[in-house]
Structure 1
Amino acid sequence: MHTNASFQRRDGQGGLALPVMLIILLVMLISSIYLIKSSNSTTLTASNLAYDSAQSRAVDAGLHAGFKWLSDTAAGNNKALLNDDSADNGYLATLDTTQTTRSSAFWDGKKTVVHEGQSIEYVVHRLCLLSGAYDAVGNTCVQTADPNSGSAHIGVGDSLASDSPQFAETPKVHYVVTARLSGTRGGNVVNQLVVLIGG
């Protein structure tokens, strides 16, 4: 009896495809799980960055309010009001350098403003050791003197070298406006602004 070779059983190849396909499916399943986790963490990171940026912009409203009060007070003949504390306006004429923004004493006399439903606290410090006039005897303040214009009078014995500029007689006193916001997700944002005002 004659048998067709194409119908003969091949014992060496039976059932090999199924385990291979199961291994490939397992690898694809694990890869898809890692891809989903990766996309979720990327989404969460982007969401947190957007939240931090929004909180930072919101706290700037406190910086703006403190700066506006400071510049309005310094205008005209009101500059003498900056020699003493003004708790109603969140202003302190001195800064205790042992305090940081995490210290509760740093925020003594703070003022609160509401911006887009969020409460923002700010405080303005003059960078001086003592209250009173910035140039009073015994008082030390952080100051910057601007260079005079080219038309300034050069006195006898003064240097004309390009690296020896002539400075203005009235320096600018430094002030720091600090604002903070306690976020709804438990995060805190603190921003600072340095302002220079002529003495």
Structure 2
Amino acid sequence: MRQLTFQRGIALPIMLIMLAVMMVSSIYLIKSTTSSTLTTANLAYEAALTKAADAGLHAGFTYLRTVPNKNLLLTDQAAAGYVATLPPTWSVSNPNFWLGAITMAPDADLNRVQYVIHRMCNLPLPYDDPTNRCQTTAPRPGTTGPRALGETLKIDASNLAVAAQIHYVVTARVFGPRGGNVVTQAVIMKGP
């Protein structure tokens, strides 16, 4: 007659432990995938807002490029979102910074773009007035288009022009439909 041998059953507890570890791992994997998806969606949303803000920067640049009379730039032009001064204490978080801003029609994604153009001067006077302080840059002569690399370094290259270029800052902010917002700025240099 045969004697029955008993199995100790060590495989069952090990398999149950492995199953529990795999379940916990799968929960963390799902959580990680969800947070990666949310992060990617948020980055895409912010990129879309930044792209929408470019429309405001472009509108400001277009106004400065096509202004019919440069004397108009000495005073505020509310219809164009132009402010002739920028006090040095103002920043984009100051509500006064946005006085005179233009709000564009919402785009296809319902982003509301607002932009304002500031001349970087303390007073609404000509840039060379002794009481006015403006941010300026010495220009290159004949800058009607791009120049070849090294062209200004030639021995017979012409000197810098006399009139300085005034700095204008175009600031655009976007209010997205999901509550996000983006602020972008561009500095444009233009002769007087």
Task: State the TM-score, normalizing by the size of structure 1.
Answer: 0.83
* 1:168-188 deviation per Cα after TM superposition (whole angstroms, max 9, x unaligned): 101110000001111222221
SS in 1 for 2:45: helix
Cross-structure match for 2:176: 183
* 1:62-108 deviation per Cα after TM superposition (whole angstroms, max 9, x unaligned): 111111111111x5xx1111011112211111101111101100000
Residue 55 in 1 paired to residue 49 in 2? yes
Structure 2 counterpart of 1:19, one-letter code: P
- 2:45 and 2:141 map into 1 onto residues whose CA distance is 45
**Taking every aligned residue pair, what percent have the same amino acid on both sides?**
48
Q: How does 1:108-127 map to 2 (within 5 A)?
A: 108-114=99-105, 115-116=107-108, 117-127=110-120
Shift in Å at residue 39 of structure 1?
Answer: 0.8
Match of 2:134 among 132, 141, 162: 141
Match of 2:59 among 55, 65, 71: 65
- 2:75 and 2:60 map into 1 onto residues whose CA distance is 16
Cross-structure match for 1:16: 10
Match of 1:130 among 113, 117, 123: 123
Shift in Å at residue 148 of structure 1?
Answer: 4.5
Which sits farther off after the overlay, 166-175 or 189-198? 166-175
Cross-structure match for 2:185: 192
Q: Give unmatched runs, 5+ long, in structure 2.
A: 143-154
Larger CA Rg, structure 1 vs 2: 1
Structure 2 counterpart of 1:176, one-letter code: V
Residue 93 in 1 paired to residue 84 in 2? yes
Q: Give unmatched runs, 5+ long, in structure 1.
A: 150-161
Cross-structure match for 1:103: 94
Cross-structure match for 2:27: 33
* 1:119-163 deviation per Cα after TM superposition (whole angstroms, max 9, x unaligned): 2111000000110211112111111112458xxxxxxxxxxxx8x
Q: How does 1:78-89 map to 2 (within 5 A)?
A: 78-89=69-80
How many aligned positions are there? 178
Which structure exhibits the higher relative contact order, with contacts defined as CA atoms closer than 8 Å and separated by 6 or more residues?
Answer: 2
**C-alpha contact (below 8 Å) 2:49/2:111 kept by paired residues:** no
- 2:32 and 2:74 map into 1 onto residues whose CA distance is 56
- 1:148 and 1:120 map into 2 onto residues whose CA distance is 36
- 2:186 and 2:45 map into 1 onto residues whose CA distance is 21
Which sits farther off after the overlay, 122-131 or 180-189? 180-189
SS in 2 for 1:105: helix
Structure 1 counterpart of 2:11, one-letter code: A
Output the aligned Cα RMSD: 2.0
Structure 2 counterpart of 1:174, one-letter code: H
